[in-house]
């Protein structure tokens, strides 16, 4: 069995979109893939299971994989999560840049 711990850096936590990404990736493997959060373990191949955990920003969770393709599974999972983090950071940078331009042109944004 291989296990890896992660910390949520997206302020929205694990909502439907990232949960679907994780479930789709986990479903590609023959191995048993679980996600563990606050002592609760669910099948990472189940969108309802993942969503039931309510994993919020700043919290930690573990993924453990056990089976014939566990090594490939953890490597692919790490690659996918790193790629998603880069996309998120790029999006935040673009938004910040757009907001700066609005501020430059003296445009106010009301809540």
Residues marked as catalytic: 15
Q: In the chain, what are the helix, strand and coil shares in percent, each to the nearest 5?
A: 45, 20, 30
Q: Which two tokens stand for residue 89?
A: 């950071």
Work out the number of other CB atoms within 10 angstroms of the CB of residue 59. Answer: 15
Give φ, ψ of 53 to 5 degrees. -75, -25
Nearest to residue 33, comparing CAs of 57, 3, 53, 11? 3
């Amino acid at each position: 069995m291989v296990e890896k711990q992660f910390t949520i850096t997206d302020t929205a936590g694990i909502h439907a979109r990232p949960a679907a990404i994780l479930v789709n990736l986990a479903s590609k493997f023959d191995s048993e893939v679980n996600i563990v959060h606050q002592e609760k373990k669910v099948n990472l191949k189940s969108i309802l299971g993942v969503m039931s955990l309510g994993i919020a920003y700043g919290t930690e969770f573990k993924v453990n994989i056990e089976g014939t393709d566990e090594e490939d599974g953890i490597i692919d999972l790490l690659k996918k999560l790193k790629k998603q983090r880069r996309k998120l950071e790029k999006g935040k940078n673009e938004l910040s840049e757009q907001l700066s331009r609005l501020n430059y042109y003296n445009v106010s944004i009301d809540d």
